[in-house]
Amino acid sequence: MFDLKALDGQSASIDQAALDALDASLRGAVHLPGSPGYDEARTTWNSVVDRRPGFVIRALGASDVQKAVNFVRNAGLVMSVRSGGHQIAGHAVADDAVMLDLSQMRSVHVDPQARTARVAPGAVLGDVDRETQAHGLTVPVGINGTTGIAGLTLGGGFGWTTRKFGMTIDNLISAEVVTADGSIVHTSATSHPDLFWAIRGGGGNFGVVTSFEFQLHPLGPEVLSGLVVHPIEAAPDLLAQYVKIADTAPDELTVWAVMRMAPPLPFLPEEWHGREVLIFAACYAGAMNDGEAAMAELRGLGNPIVDVISPHAFVDWQSAFDPLLASGARNYWKSHDFSTLTPDAISGLLEGIAKLPDPASEVFVAHVGGAMARVPTDATAYPERSAHFIMNVHSRWEDPTKDEACINWARALYDRMTPHATGSAYVNFMPADQSDALDGAYGANGSRLAEIKRKYDPDNLFRINHNILPA
């Protein structure tokens, strides 16, 4: 017998015969502790998360997901859902719960004539970028190739091309969802439109998405992109000028500001390795000549240590930061939205950078707006369209003895920046201990989300997430 967490807060026992019958019904498999696949499935990108589910169901298709949902619901068990396993809060896995693992479902099918892509939930952004760029097409996603497409999309999704093409959710055409009653539902603007609205920002609260259909846009194969690196001492003036550049930038231009200790990159002089720097990371989603003109003011700022902006294959630029975000390190994030960066906000950021707790820790300020900002706040569950910058305080380290110092640094900087922020939040950047920020994350959309949750998941089967309670 296996004792697992139950939905009623108690425990429930499942016998081996029931698991054997479930396993025999699947295209995928059931993995018990100690069996092949169990540890691989439960290990996520963030090594702070080290949890042991009661057993793992590795699905290979919608029918497997349907069987898993029915099994868990009928047995009254608690279930977590993993796609890419990249989420900072670690909701992909829970102790003594059932883990539904979608990471083997990684297909990406591109229709270049219709400019659409059908993507399975276990695909990571690198999978999507490689397949779409083979046709000179793209869908706006994030900046790390190992991020899962499912979690990114369900929380909103933004990156280098968001200002030009909108958020990931703004390019979602339809989805296939297994709901809490085991139904396989096709949802779009015309089919179950309430569910379609909710999954565009409401996370995994409403069902398990087994397929996404995205609208694609022509881009590449090359874009003008790269880094301009400055000494941190120049940051007060440079960040003030950066805000002015961001305010007037065309939609095609995106510039993120990164503050950290310089990694040992081959193009950086060795004497700068390990010293605090300000990095402007820029990408132009348009013609090269137009990009040169659009980036001229940014590249003319100050006296940079290096400027390595040049044409790059877009698929390579999309994965350029993967080595700095590799799986296996310990991570804790805190995030704010800003309408602008005032001089006081800039001072607060730099006070935090002066106290970096680890060479791998950083703060980045993402430049958003553009097409993303022209979508009404009630058009999708993700409501925060007015933000011009999104900050991620990204503490990252290897040594478990540094947990307290690194987490406290992130929290302190978050608190320092709170007076300058909008009060909203991006759920994909929220740690598990920030559940009280959900009101800010959804704002006026929260009550509608609770009503839709009651319709599709009245018993809160899908609760291992940034949870929206049924109304």
Q: pLDDT tens across 325-348, in order?
A: 899 999 999 999 999 999 999 999
pLDDT cut 70: percent of the chain above it: 100
pLDDT score, position 374? 96
Q: Where in the chain is the domain with CATH 3.30.465.10?
A: 108-218+443-456
Band of pLDDT at residue 384, cut at 50, 70 and 90: confident
Band of pLDDT at residue 376, cut at 50, 70 and 90: very high
Q: Where in the chain is the domain with CATH 3.40.462.20?
A: 222-432
Q: What is the pLDDT of residues 113-124, one digit of tens each?
A: 999 999 999 999
pLDDT score, position 437? 72
Separation between Cα atoms, residue 31 and residue 458, nearest integer Å:
29
Residues in the chain: 471
pLDDT score, position 386? 87
Residue 201 amino acid letter? G
pLDDT score, position 36? 83
> 2-101: what CATH class?
alpha beta
Q: Which fold has domain 222-432?
A: Vanillyl-alcohol Oxidase; Chain A, domain 3 (3.40.462)
How many other C-beta atoms lie within 10 A of the C-beta of residue 62? 19
Retrieve residue 268's tokens. Answer: 């950086």
Average pLDDT value for residue range 454-460: 98
DSSP track, 391-415: EEEEEEES-GGGHHHHHHHHHHHHH
Q: What is the pLDDT of residues 138-168, one digit of tens each?
A: 999 999 999 999 999 999 999 999 999 999 9
Average pLDDT along the chain: 96
Q: What is the pLDDT of residues 84-105, one digit of tens each?
A: 999 999 999 999 999 999 999 9
Q: What is the pTM of this model?
A: 0.96
Question: Could you give the C-alpha distances from 59 to 23, 62, 65, 105, 401, in angstroms and in order?
Answer: 10, 8, 6, 7, 36
At a CB cut-off of 8 Å and minimum separation 6, what does 413 contact? 334, 348, 349, 352, 363, 393
Statement: residue 440 has pLDDT above 80 = no
Least confident of 64-68, 170-174, 429-433, 438-442: 438-442
Band of pLDDT at residue 439, cut at 50, 70 and 90: confident
Helices and strands, number each (H, E), in the chain: 14, 21
Q: Which fold has domain 108-218+443-456?
A: 3.30.465
- Between strands 11-14 and 137-138, the pairing is unpaired
Report the candidate in 87, 204, 212 with the shortest Cα–Cα distance to residue 460: 204
- Between strands 310-313 and 222-231, the pairing is antiparallel
Average pLDDT value for residue range 21-26: 98
Statement: residue 435 has pLDDT above 90 = no
pLDDT cut 90: percent of the chain above it: 93
Residue 326 amino acid letter? A
Statement: residue 471 has pLDDT above 80 = yes
pLDDT score, position 103? 97
Q: Where in the chain is the domain with CATH 3.30.43.10?
A: 2-101
pLDDT score, position 1? 78
Virtual torsion, Cα 25, 30, 35, 37, nearest 10 deg: 110
